[in-house]
Amino acid sequence: MEHLSDLKETARQAFYWNSFDPEKSGNRTLREHEEQLQSDLVDIPETEKERYIENYRKYFIKWLNALSNCASSAVTGGANFNVSRAEKANRREHDVYGEFIEWRERALNAIAKKVEDAKPESQKIDEAWRRLEKDILHSAVVIDGVNKGIERGYNKALFVSSIYGKVETYAKRGDVEIVNRAIDCIRKFNETMGVVITERHNFFKLPEMAQRNKEATEELSNKENQEQPFNGGIVVFNYQEDRLQLLFDEKPSFEIIQQLKKNGFRWSPRFSSWQRQLTNNAIYATKRLLRENNLNCQ
């Protein structure tokens, strides 16, 4: 328990009123969370580890302190047991641990994104292609097996559709190089193993889609961002990042935050805004959210 060993007494106290063996329960909890922390640190860059450990400890200690207020009538005895206080403490402990879980998820996602963004573009493309190539070849082998009567009980059309759908995703993003690699992969398979997708299929038109979308994305990235104020903040059309962003003057209410999440918006620490991909659906959702909460654009 390298990073949490000094919390042994805190953990024991956390289970004092809700476990018949507080020391054993405390040690088990420390061990489980130390294992989780060590697992998290494996993929975290050295420059980020100290901060992550510090925040992990902060949330963990906060949860242990909340847990220390929880009591079990089986442990304390039923006489004069305050049920209302116990229920309140249990709700508080549940909420605090929920905050811990949410922080960890946000932190790991943010670190992973930072690591990904720092990679050279060529490395990103190669890694994305290796993942896609593996999926394509798996489906292609099954299709070839169906064609040759080796694989039975499979629907060939579903595997063709799977390949098309995965490559189409990259075409819609304008990832021309990835799409061209996919086309070359299937053509090579067709020539050496057996035809899995015929040249008449729309699959072979995906490079054209990818090129169009790449040009459209480049055009948008050169477009100047636009801002539109509303009652309590600003809507930003961030064309460089391809994001629709809502910047509030003050932290929005819990109800509005839930509506933002429901409508696909996610908090961006980098831009201090709630944002989602800049699409017509995003614009429509934003107008509806502002209208329903009387925050109409000025």
Q: What is the pLDDT of residue 241?
A: 86
- pLDDT tens, residue by residue, 60-103: 999 999 999 998 888 887 777 788 888 999 999 999 999 999 99
Q: Find the mean pLDDT for residues 28-45.
A: 96
188, 90: one domain: no
How much is the average pLDDT of 111-118? 90
Query: Is 234 in contact with 228 (CB distance < 8 Å)?
Result: yes
The confidence score (pLDDT) of residue 2 equals: 79
Q: What is the pLDDT of residues 225-270, one digit of tens each?
A: 999 999 999 999 998 888 999 999 999 999 999 999 999 999 998 8
Same domain, 126 and 114: no
Q: How far apart are CA 265 and CA 71, in angstroms?
A: 39
Q: Is residue 262 part of a domain?
A: yes
Q: For the segment 153-203, what is each residue's pLDDT rounded down to a tens digit?
A: 899 999 999 999 999 999 999 999 999 999 999 999 999 999 999 999 999
14 occurs within a structural domain: yes
Residue finishing a domain among 118, 143, 169: 118
Q: How many CB atoms sit inside 10 A of residue 154's CB?
A: 12
- Do both 110 and 131 map to the same domain? no
One domain for residues 10 and 97: yes
Token pair in block for residue 66: 């909340």
Has residue 47 got a pLDDT over 90?
Answer: yes
- Residue 178 and residue 99 share a domain: no
**Domain endpoint, select from 90, 118, 146:** 118
pLDDT of residue 24: 96
CA torsion 197→201→207→212, rounded to 10°? -160
Q: How confident is the model at residue 298 (pLDDT cuts 50, 70, 90)?
A: low
Stretch 13-28: mean pLDDT: 94
> What mean pLDDT comes out for the span 271-290?
92
Q: Is residue 43 domain-resident?
A: yes
For residue 297, what pLDDT is reported? Answer: 61
| 231 within domain boundaries | yes
**127 and 200 assigned to the same domain:** yes
Residue 253 phi, psi (nearest 5)? -65, 165
Place of tokens 């905050």: 99
The verdict on pTM exceeding 0.75 is no
Distances (CA, A) of 193 to 156, 189, 263: 16, 5, 46
Tell whether 298 is covered by a domain. Answer: no
In a domain, 166, yes or no: yes
Residue 297 lies in a domain: no
The answer on pLDDT for 1 being more than 70 is: no
Query: Are residues 107 and 132 both part of a single domain?
Result: no
**How far from 167 is each of 34, 178, 277, CA to CA, in Å?**
41, 8, 20
Query: What strand order describes the sheet that includes 266-268?
Result: 226-230, 233-238, 243-248, 273-277, 266-268
* Claim to verify: residue 82 and residue 177 sit in the same structural domain: no
Q: Is residue 278 part of a domain?
A: yes
Of the residues 203, 219, 235, the one at which a domain ends: 219
pLDDT of residue 296: 74
Do residues 131 and 191 both lie within one domain? yes
- Quick one: 139 and 191 in the same domain? yes
If asked whether residues 280 and 255 sit together in one domain, one would say yes
**Per-residue pLDDT at 223:** 84
> Which residue segment(s) compose the domain that 254 sits in?
226-292
Judgement on whether residues 285 and 248 belong to the same structural domain of the protein: yes
What's residue 61's pLDDT? 97
Report the domain count for the chain: 3
> Residue 247 corresponds to which amino acid?
L
Kind plus residue range of the DSSP H or E element containing 243: strand 243-248
CA distance 134 to 178: 13
